[in-house]
């Protein structure tokens, strides 16, 4: 399991590095190295924690992004979102390094560097409470899937999506690209739509979810939505 974690982490971030540096036209891009180093280190730390504490969850997280029991609409979402993700990375690389259209102050890049770490920390808090936090939308009946109401789930119904907002907000300034923020009006509604569709499935198929949703009113942002 640990070997698979290391292999998939290397392949995933290796592909991200290829997109970033390929679009930038250079590997002499310190901000991109900081971003990749943060994400690799944080992903491995959380992954090794899961290997020790919740290996079944790690196995789920290491599964393919398109699966047999996954909802059809989520299969489409995953494919589209992967294209959007790599397009976003390429656009920021073109903006920040190849064309140098944006000029982000160093202090703001440093502040942006905190966002990926905060995002992964929120993901870890989610994994610590929810052993059913698979990467795809499905009810895991074979694992005794149940509603989780503790930890970050006391505040919002989709804490991982909430944590992802920090990643999407902080990565563009970290990489030095204002134009990266232009993707947010597409990325954020896409996450919101997935949250709504996921809730429809959970309401129909997971005992106790309607009562939980009635008690915890917000999906992503406490006090807002």
**What CATH number has the domain bearing residue 160?**
1.20.120.1630
- Whether 60 and 7 have beta carbons less than 8 Å apart is answered as no
Interval 190-198 mean pLDDT: 96
pLDDT at 69 over 90: no
Residue 172: which domain range?
2-215
Residue 143 lies in a domain: yes
Residue 62 lies in a domain: yes
Alpha carbons 127 and 88: distance in angstroms, whole number:
26
Which one, of 202, 115, 117, 118, lies nearest residue 158 by Cα? 202
Alpha carbons 171 and 84: distance in angstroms, whole number:
15
Q: What confidence score (pLDDT) does residue 213 get?
A: 97
DSSP one-letter code for 113: T
Residue 110 lies in a domain: yes
Alpha carbons within 13 A on the beta-carbon side of 9: 20
Residue 74 lies in a domain: yes
Residue 77 lies in a domain: yes
Residue 128 lies in a domain: yes
Q: At what angle do helices 72-93 and 159-175 cross, to 10 degrees?
A: 20
User: For 124-149, what is each residue's pLDDT tens digit?
Assistant: 999 999 999 999 999 998 899 999 99
- What is the reported pTM? 0.94
Q: How confident is the model at residue 214 (pLDDT cuts 50, 70, 90)?
A: very high
User: For 78-91, what is each residue's pLDDT tens digit?
Assistant: 999 999 999 999 99
Q: What are phi and psi of 216, to 5 degrees?
A: -100, 105
Q: At what angle do helices 72-93 and 2-24 cross, to 10 degrees?
A: 50
Q: Detail the DSSP E strand segments found in the chain.
A: none
| DSSP states of 174-222 | HHT-SGGGGGHHHHHHHHHHHHHHHHHHHHHHSTTHHHHHHHS--SSST
Residue 19 lies in a domain: yes
Residue 206 lies in a domain: yes
The total number of structural domains in the chain stands at 1
């Amino acid at each position: 399991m640990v070997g698979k974690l290391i292999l998939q982490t290397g392949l995933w971030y290796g592909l991200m590095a290829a997109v970033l540096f390929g679009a930038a036209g250079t590997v002499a891009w310190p901000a991109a190295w900081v971003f990749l180093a943060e994400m690799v280190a944080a992903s491995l730390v959380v992954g090794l924690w899961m290997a020790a504490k919740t290996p079944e969850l790690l196995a789920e997280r290491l599964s393919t992004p398109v699966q047999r029991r996954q909802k059809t609409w989520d299969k489409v979402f995953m494919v589209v979102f992967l294209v959007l993700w790599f397009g976003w990375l390429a656009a920021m690389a073109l903006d920040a390094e190849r064309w140098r259209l944006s000029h982000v102050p160093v202090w703001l890049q440093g502040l942006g560097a905190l966002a990926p770490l905060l995002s992964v920390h929120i993901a870890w808090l989610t994994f610590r409470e929810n052993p059913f936090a698979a990467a795809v939308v499905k009810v895991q009946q074979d694992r005794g899937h149940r509603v989780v109401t503790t930890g970050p789930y006391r505040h919002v119904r989709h804490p991982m999506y909430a944590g992802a907002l920090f990643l999407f907000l902080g990565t563009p300034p970290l990489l030095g690209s204002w134009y990266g923020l232009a993707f947010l009006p597409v990325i954020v509604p896409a996450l919101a739509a997935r949250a709504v569709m996921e809730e429809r499935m959970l309401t129909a198929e997971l005992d106790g979810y309607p009562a939980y949703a009635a008690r915890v009113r917000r999906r992503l942002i406490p006090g807002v939505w």
